[in-house]
């Protein structure tokens, strides 16, 4: 059973980019579900802000339509829908100009103790401009927080500019940088698994772990986001944030406490300990690919270049990396990361492979002794599996079998775990920044990513092609097989 969440105090959430895709697809459905679960207190308000000319009524209809699309089961209840729509308001504001700011100020009133959160679901170019105007119009109270979406910049320098602009008007403790992977239940479970069990932590080091794989594969292509994606690519869109954050949680030292700063200090140290990848080693440690026409779920799909309408595009839609963390715990343990679009399945998982048993006790005819593996699946079918060797039951010799101890979250707890944005939005209101990125973490992640980008662009080599619906370029398979290892396939989960 999933336990009832505690109510949060009433708040005003102001969403810049309030008529954008992220807002309709993720933010309003998340708030709707939290209200449905009784977590929002009476008096809470959600105020969308955008340049688009629209009345409150028209906006409410648009949100209702979005909820029916993205949460049809709950939205089929007219009372639930009506009570959520009651929370909504709409103010026309030009985020980069002067229009509407006085209206927004009047709308928000002047209670300094009321929690006020500004969600910047806009392009990062606007973050600084919005921050300046919030300050100029005296909209920032001591109970104000600001939430920013990735990407925080496109490299270290632009991230520092954005962070400076935000830091000029907000304290670091008021800035909530979202990486929605940190709000996923199984990601948080990594901390429980590591630090609430005596079993794993003593083995969580190079003495016992052979290697770790992190895979975040998607079957979708770039869909309607070609404009953004073609300037970003998989390294910036997925690795700089989601995959590196997963790596940090797997590899960090036990924090002194679960306070935001203690956890973020440990994550930052992991990023700072990564072996640098640059022109000297990028060809052995990185593979980038771009999908060509192929098939997804039995249907023919176009190649990336056709989808974005640029036959010369060298944007990568796939990345595989071999990383090393240069510290005492992880010296010599490779971390293989891969992510891509138009891969065969949507899977996010972390696989920890332990070292071989030190001595071959069993005769060859007992069967192959597989290495112990811990598989932490983030999506779909969230859960944890521990693969072990056991004796096949019955008489007639001693044969070994590879079997898994399974923990499926949906079977163990029933129902659906809350989505990442639900958890993260409520954490902002409570002022808990543990699952958000601190400035120095974002900048340390860019400091690792920038030399890889530089090496790729200096090499002048285009990304390697892969057929849509395959597991990426063959070079990605070679990257791990050169070390005598293989990518873990879905069979380890089924």
Q: Which residues are catalytic?
A: 242
Nearer to ligand BG6, 237 or 427 (CB): 237
> Pattern of binders to ligand BG6 over 160-199, x per CB under 6 A?
----------------------------------------
Nearer to ligand BG6, 134 or 321 (CB): 321
Q: What is the rounded CA–CA span in Å between residue 441 and residue 338?
A: 21
Q: Which residue is nearest to ligand BG6 (CB)?
A: 237
By the rule CB under 6 A, 37 interacts with ligand BG6: no
Site for ligand BG6 in 464-483 (CB under 6 A): none
Q: Map tokens 């779920």 to a residue.
A: 297
Closest distance to ligand BG6 from the beta carbon of 124 (Å): 13
Q: What is the rounded CA–CA span in Å between residue 64 and residue 84?
A: 9
Q: Which of 94, 132, 155, 218 binds ligand BG6 (CB under 6 A)?
A: 218
Q: What is the rounded CA–CA span in Å between residue 132 and residue 480?
A: 48
Q: What is the rounded CA–CA span in Å between residue 401 and residue 347?
A: 26
Written as six digits, the tokens of 283 are 């060809």
Q: Map tokens 């810049």 to a residue.
A: 16
Q: What is the rounded CA–CA span in Å between residue 219 and residue 468?
A: 9
Number of amino acids touching ligand BG6 (CB under 6 A): 3
Q: Which of 237, 349, 422, 443 binds ligand BG6 (CB under 6 A)?
A: 237
Closest distance to ligand BG6 from the beta carbon of 237 (Å): 5
Q: Are strands 144-148 and 115-120 parallel, antiparallel or unpaired?
A: parallel
Nearer to ligand BG6, 12 or 237 (CB): 237
Is residue 135 within a helix (H) or strand (E), and if so which, with residue range?
Answer: helix 125-136
By the rule CB under 6 A, 316 interacts with ligand BG6: no
Written as six digits, the tokens of 145 are 């927080």
By the rule CB under 6 A, 307 interacts with ligand BG6: no
Nearest one of 375, 385, 379, 386 to 417, comparing CA atoms = 379
Nearer to ligand BG6, 218 or 450 (CB): 218
By the rule CB under 6 A, 94 interacts with ligand BG6: no
> How many alpha carbons fall within 13 Å on the CB side of residue 479?
26
3-state DSSP call for residue 312?
coil
By the rule CB under 6 A, 381 interacts with ligand BG6: no
Nearer to ligand BG6, 80 or 417 (CB): 417
Written as six digits, the tokens of 311 are 């036959």
Written as six digits, the tokens of 220 are 């979708």
> Pattern of binders to ligand BG6 over 331-360, x per CB under 6 A?
-----------------x------------
Closest distance to ligand BG6 from the beta carbon of 27 (Å): 14
Closest distance to ligand BG6 from the beta carbon of 80 (Å): 24
Is residue 206 within a helix (H) or strand (E), and if so which, with residue range?
Answer: none
> Binding residues for ligand BG6, per CB under 6 A?
218, 237, 348
């Amino acid at each position: 059973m999933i336990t009832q969440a505690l109510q949060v105090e009433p708040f005003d959430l102001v969403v810049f980019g309030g008529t954008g895709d992220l807002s309709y697809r993720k933010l309003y459905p998340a708030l709707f579900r939290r209200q449905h679960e009784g977590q929002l207190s009476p008096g809470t308000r959600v105020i969308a802000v955008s340049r688009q000319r629209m009345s409150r009524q028209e906006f409410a209809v648009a949100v209702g339509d979005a909820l029916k699309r993205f949460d049809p089961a709950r939205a089929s209840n007219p009372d639930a829908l009506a009570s959520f729509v009651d929370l909504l308001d709409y103010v026309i504001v030009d985020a980069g100009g002067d229009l509407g700011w006085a209206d927004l100020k009047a709308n928000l009133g002047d209670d300094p103790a009321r929690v006020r959160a500004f969600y910047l679901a806009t392009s990062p170019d606007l973050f600084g401009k919005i921050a300046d105007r919030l300050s100029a119009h005296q909209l920032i109270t001591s109970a104000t927080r600001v939430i920013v979406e990735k990407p925080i910049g496109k490299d270290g320098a632009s991230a520092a500019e954005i962070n400076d602009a935000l830091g000029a008007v907000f304290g670091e403790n008021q800035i909530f940088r979202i990486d929605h992977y940190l709000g996923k239940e199984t990601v948080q479970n990594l901390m429980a698994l590591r630090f609430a069990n005596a079993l794993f932590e003593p083995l969580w080091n190079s003495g016992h772990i052979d290697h770790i794989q992190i895979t975040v594969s998607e079957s979708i292509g770039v869909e309607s986001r070609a404009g953004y994606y073609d300037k970003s690519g998989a390294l910036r869109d997925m690795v700089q944030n989601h995959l590196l954050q997963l790596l940090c949680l797997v590899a960090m030292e036990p924090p002194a406490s679960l306070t935001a700063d203690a956890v973020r200090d440990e994550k930052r140290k992991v990023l700072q300990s990564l072996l640098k990848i640059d022109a000297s080693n990028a060809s052995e440690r990185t593979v980038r690919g771009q999908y060509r026409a192929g098939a997804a779920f039995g249907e023919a799909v176009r190649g990336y270049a056709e989808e974005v309408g640029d036959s010369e595009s060298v944007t990568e839609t796939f990345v595989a990396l071999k990383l090393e963390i240069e510290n005492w715990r992880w010296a010599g343990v490779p971390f293989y990361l891969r992510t891509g679009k138009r891969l065969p399945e949507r899977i996010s998982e972390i696989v920890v492979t332990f070292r071989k048993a030190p001595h071959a006790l069993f005769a060859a005819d007992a069967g192959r002794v597989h290495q112990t593996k811990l598989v932490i699946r983030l999506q779909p079918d969230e859960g944890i599996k521990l693969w072990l060797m056991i004796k096949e039951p019955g008489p007639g010799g001693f044969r070994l079998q590879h079997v898994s101890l399974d923990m499926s979250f949906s079977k163990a707890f029933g129902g659906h775990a809350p989505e990442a944005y639900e958890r993260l939005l409520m954490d902002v209101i409570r002022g808990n920044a543990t699952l958000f990125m601190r400035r120095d973490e974002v900048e340390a992640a860019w400091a690792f990513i920038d030399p890889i980008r530089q090496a790729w662009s200096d090499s002048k080599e285009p990304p390697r092609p892969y057929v849509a619906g395959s597991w990426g370029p063959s070079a990605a398979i070679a990257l791990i097989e050169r070390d005598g290892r293989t990518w873990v396939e879905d069979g380890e989960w089924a």
